[in-house]
Amino acid sequence: MDRSAEIATLIRKKIEGTLTAQEAILLQDWLSESQQHADFLKQASHEDLVWEDVNAWLVLREGEAQDAWTQRLEQITMQKIQEGRQQHGHSKWPFYRRLLSYAAVLLLVASVSLLIYKNQHTDKQYTEIENLEPGSNRAQITLSDGRVIELREDQDGVVLGEDLVYEDGTMITSLDNEEPVFASIVTPRGGQYQITLMDGTKVWLNAASKLTYPSRFDQGERRVELEGEGYFEVAKQMKQGKKVPFIIKTPTQEVEVLGTEFNISAYKDNGESAKTTLVEGSVQVHAQGETMLLKPGEQSVQSAKGLNKKKVDVSPFVAWKNNEFVFFETELKDALLVLSRWYDFDVDLKQPIPSTHLYGSISRKESLSEVLEILKSSGLKFRIENLKNKNRLIILP
């Protein structure tokens, strides 16, 4: 748990009267750091706040402002606050004003706010098809001998060895690994799964993804193929004193690693750019005749314009592995594509999508109805229809 979330938990328990003696010491240490901390706790104890209010203020206090978007957020923030006053009355305005004066950046109420208040009641802009359940652990594995196995939803992942077993050791089937024949694991839209390969490398597959792998690796290199999105923890392997490379081939590039953690997003649909985001170690990205070395906190982006590199906060790009959506200056179109894969709906772009950015986070365990509240707050008008057993989100003018 990061520090902001930890302190927010302590404040909530303090207000509820459930703080333990050890937790009280931790909270007191935080209060002694700043008079603003003490002032905020005093104010929070007398306001009808929800959990997200407390956590948001802490994120702002702990974060660092970025001038490139602070000015834009300020204008949008004040507009949203004014709309909130007209819609819900003035009861929260004094606290909003004090909250904004404390904040290092104006992120509390942005173009899309992920803070859902107890007294927020707005007219629905979508049909009764709103409460789609979130995705779950679903995948299908095709073995090298052609057998197809539907993997259990009550398991998190599988482990390859002499046998194929679930992570808890439950037997699935025996394997014939004499020849390096390729097999695959596929997650549907609304599915995710984890697989541990023969060399100990762990791969988390996001929704609508496919990993193709050999039943055993050659001694000279380890090679797999990825379509969609996967998070890799590559096990180090040595041969004659040298590290054996691990290579991931996507439809448009190759990523070569020696032992590291990183995320690859390489969906083929909707013209999305292939992104490789490095968490630990180092990787080389090969694409379009170029080779690019990444360091931790860097991301390569491959598009029709070529291969580019930039520094990023890795959190939004790897949060899915921990069952969270994290958005930071995320284009609304990109967010819709992410959500559509997890909740298994199509996006019908009959009308242009507003040029809006998302900021904040929400659990991937929430139902679609919770996420739709977020989309509504962005000003997006839409409806969801079911046609031939397929859910589709239609953008309205």
Note the pLDDT tens digit of each residue in 88-145: 444 443 443 333 333 332 233 332 333 333 333 344 444 445 567 899 999 999 988 8
Instruction: Spell out a b/e string for 115-146, using b for 16 or more CB atoms within 10 Å of the CB, else e.
Output: beeeeeeeeeebeeebebebbebbbbbbbbee
Flag whether 95 is in a domain. yes
Flag whether 29 is in a domain. yes
Distance between start and end Cα atoms, the chain = 41
Are the CB atoms for 265 and 230 separated by under 8 Å?
no
Conformational region of residue 389, where left means phi above 0, alpha means psi within -120 to 50, and beta covers everything else? left
Q: Kindly report the pTM of this predicted structure.
A: 0.66
State the pLDDT at residue 335.
Answer: 87
Flag whether 62 is in a domain. yes
**Alpha-carbon span 36 to 226, nearest angstrom:** 49
Are the CB atoms for 282 and 258 separated by under 8 Å?
yes
Structure tokens belonging to residue 167: 């992570």
Structure tokens belonging to residue 98: 């004090």
Flag whether 203 is in a domain. no
**Alpha-carbon span 259 to 239, nearest angstrom:** 14
Flag whether 73 is in a domain. yes
Domain count, the chain: 1
By the 10 Å C-beta count (0-12 exposed, 13-18 middle, 19+ buried), 383 is classed as middle
**Alpha-carbon span 338 to 344, nearest angstrom:** 10
Output 36-42 pairs: Cβ under 8 A, ≥24 positions apart: 36/61, 36/102, 37/61, 40/102, 41/11, 41/14
Q: Are strands 191-196 and 157-160 parallel, antiparallel or unpaired?
A: parallel
Average pLDDT, stretch 178-203? 90
**Structural domain harbouring 21:** 3-102
Q: Of residues 19 and 71, which shows the higher confidence score?
A: 19
What SS3 state is found at 372? helix
State the pLDDT at residue 64.
Answer: 41
Flag whether 370 is in a domain. no
81-85, 195-199, 241-245, 376-380: which has the highest mean pLDDT? 195-199
What SS3 state is found at 99? helix
Average model confidence (pLDDT) across the chain: 76
